[in-house]
């Protein structure tokens, strides 16, 4: 936002519309407060649903124990009824329109490089990044990256060939949009160019990237904002240069953790500038000198940071720059955040407020002690005077 187990069902059953719940005992069941991390959720992409399949996959870990071993259709029905019951009408309309938009793409768009729609670590990732996962530990993760500024990590991530194929796929998407005279939904309210990869079928691949790679790293580097896991995402491509966006205003991301990978091509400018991590209350507060950090993009290299780390992008002065952005979200953190008021563990504004309160408390204590000492002195002097 800008600042200002796979229990496979028969094929016939997989394609059927999830039925409405009976409204009896099943309707009275409640979601778990925390997800069942040991449960492996189903894939719902082939079902005709009113909401994003990834939402069902993420929500499944919160289902009550009585439902976890039910059929995929029954679980989808329960979750669908729950979402319909609590979603505002305007949200339902938006979701349905977005579903129609995605359905049109999936039925008409012919992929250029089908192999990149399934995560293949050995083909996608640079050896240094892949090597960090030979054993998932903090020393291993940190050995493959540089903490170039507190809370900002940079590392080589993608092989050049994958970057080239993804860029070619995006150009192919844009050509299809133009040729088919379709309207394309842009990534967010600030970017006028770019493509939402999830809308074109990258949803499962990107969620697996989050589950298997980004979430394990983030839980080590950013445990205070990850909840139990990063369980959903928004993945898209942004483009800067001639006839594209030029720069990006100062903002925070709608994410707990953000991954930003430069795909290329040749360009000048476009540096990211960071100005401190803030919660909603302090999002417009001033930055301190210590919070100023600038980063220059390198093709194939990634930068990982908290979504609430305020940042922007300077003008791309020549060439063409394209980046993969992955907003990674935690439903448990967002729920817990509703009951918190102090975020001094990660918000610079809350930290300053806490330091100010502590300083005021110390000063107040000193004043009380000084006053008591003065009173004691006066009493002693009065007693001495009376004795004389």
Q: How far is CA 246 from the centre of its chain?
A: 24
How confident is residue 379, by pLDDT bands cut at 50, 70 and 90? confident
Q: What is the pLDDT of residues 258-300, one digit of tens each?
A: 999 999 989 999 999 999 999 999 999 999 999 999 999 999 9
How confident is residue 58, by pLDDT bands cut at 50, 70 and 90? confident
Tell me what pLDDT residue 2 has: 53
Sequence-separated (6 or more) residues with CB below 8 Å from residue 78? 21, 26, 29, 63, 67, 70
26, burial (CB in 10 Å: exposed 0-12, middle 13-18, buried 19+): middle
Six token digits for residue 177: 């949009």
Alpha carbon separation from 44 to 74, 104, 205 (Å, rounded): 12, 18, 14
116 touches 197 (CB < 8 A): no
Entry pTM: 0.76
Other C-beta atoms closer than 10 Å to the C-beta of 249 total 10
Q: What is the pLDDT of residues 13-28, one digit of tens each?
A: 333 444 444 444 444 6
Tell me: pLDDT of 84 over 70.
yes
Q: What is the pLDDT of residues 100-125, one digit of tens each?
A: 888 889 999 999 999 999 999 999 99
Tell me what pLDDT residue 10 has: 37
């Amino acid at each position: 936002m800008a600042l200002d187990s796979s229990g496979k069902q028969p094929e016939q059953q997989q394609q059927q519309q999830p039925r409405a719940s009976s409204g009896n005992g099943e309707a009275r069941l409640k979601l778990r407060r925390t997800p069942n991390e040991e449960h492996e959720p189903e894939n719902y992409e082939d079902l005709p649903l009113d909401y994003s399949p990834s939402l069902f996959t993420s929500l499944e870990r919160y289902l009550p124990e009585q439902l976890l071993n039910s059929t995929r259709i029954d679980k989808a029905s329960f979750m669908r009824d729950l979402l319909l019951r609590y979603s505002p009408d305007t949200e339902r309309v938006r979701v349905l329109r977005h579903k129609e938009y995605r359905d049109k793409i999936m039925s008409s768009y012919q992929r250029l490089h089908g192999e990149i729609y399934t995560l293949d670590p050995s083909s996608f990732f640079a050896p240094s990044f892949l090597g960090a996962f030979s054993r998932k530990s903090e020393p291993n993760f940190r050995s493959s990256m540089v903490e170039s500024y507190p809370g900002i990590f940079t590392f080589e991530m993608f092989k050049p060939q994958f970057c080239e194929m993804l860029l070619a796929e995006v150009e192919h998407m844009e050509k299809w949009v133009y040729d088919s005279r379709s309207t394309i939904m842009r990534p967010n309210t600030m970017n006028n160019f770019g493509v939402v990869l999830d809308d074109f079928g990258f949803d499962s691949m990107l969620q697996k990237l989050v589950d298997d790679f980004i979430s394990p790293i983030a839980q080590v580097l950013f445990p205070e904002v990850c909840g139990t896991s990063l369980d959903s995402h928004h993945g898209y491509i942004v483009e800067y240069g001639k006839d594209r966006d030029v720069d990006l205003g100062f903002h925070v991301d709608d994410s707990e953790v953000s991954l930003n990978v430069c795909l290329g091509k040749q360009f000048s400018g476009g540096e990211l500038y960071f100005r401190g991590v803030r919660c909603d209350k302090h999002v417009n507060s001033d930055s301190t000198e210590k919070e100023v950090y600038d980063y220059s993009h390198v093709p194939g290299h990634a930068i990982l940071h908290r979504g609430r780390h305020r940042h922007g992008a300077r003008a791309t002065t020549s060439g063409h720059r394209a980046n993969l952005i992955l907003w990674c979200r935690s439903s448990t953190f967002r729920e817990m955040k509703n009951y918190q008021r102090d975020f001094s563990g990660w918000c610079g504004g809350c930290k300053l407020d806490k330091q100010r309160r502590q300083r005021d408390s110390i000063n107040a204590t000193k004043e009380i002690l000084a006053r008591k000492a003065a009173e004691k002195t006066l009493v002693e002097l009065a007693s001495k005077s009376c004795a004389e």
